[in-house]
Structure 1
């Protein structure tokens, strides 16, 4: 398996786990994962897992500006992929 693909899978797995941990901690009034960490994981390739975790855990689906920022990251990544596909 190519290294970039392994990194992609690892970042997405980490992102999904962090969203799940943050949701679990929120129900227990425990120590939360900072939003900048969750968004940072999405920015560095974990957007697929971040969106999946939002749906799976029903977590941060309405919280603003988090939701908007995650959607901006997704849009920017899709735009970059479109540019690479077009070039």
Structure 2
């Protein structure tokens, strides 16, 4: 039985239970993929802002960079800051980014303890 046949058999056996199992199995992978994509997007935004700063062009607003960090891109933001040496001494940007990361870490710990 192929994977596709197995999945379709699971869905047809029990309309509700099997779908929940599939969501539990693949939902984690989809969530992880979304998190990776958000972090890549955040790193690209930081790189683009750095390039604009070098060229003297219009910059990405700090609020945009912080919002990307807030929706899950804080690891990418910290990595991009280190790799591109961008926004490392900028205040209050650095403080806001650290606050976002601490809140996310607290939510993550709370989720796993709950």
**TM-score normalised by L of structure 1:** 0.95
Uncovered stretches (5+) of structure 2, i.e. residues with no partner:
1-25
RMSD between superposed Cα atoms in Å? 1.0
Count of residues paired in the alignment = 87
What is the match of residue 20 of structure 2? none
Residue 20 of structure 1: which of 42, 47, 70 is its match?
Answer: 47
TM-score normalized by structure 2? 0.74
Alignment-derived partner of residue 76 in structure 1: 103
The answer to whether the aligner puts 1:58 opposite 2:72 as a matched pair is no
Gaps of 5+ in 1: none
**Structure with more relative contact order (C-alpha pairs < 8 Å, separation 6 or more):** 1
Q: Does 1:47 align with 2:74?
A: yes
Name the CA distance, whole Å, in 2 between partners of 1:40 and 1:76.
Answer: 14
Q: Distance in 1 between matches of 2:99 and 2:106?
A: 10
The runs of at least 4 aligned residues of structure 1 exceeding 2 Å deviation read none
Q: What per-residue deviation string (whole Å, max 9, x for no partner) do you get for residues 43-63 of structure 1?
A: 000000000000000000110
Greater CA radius of gyration, 1 or 2?
2
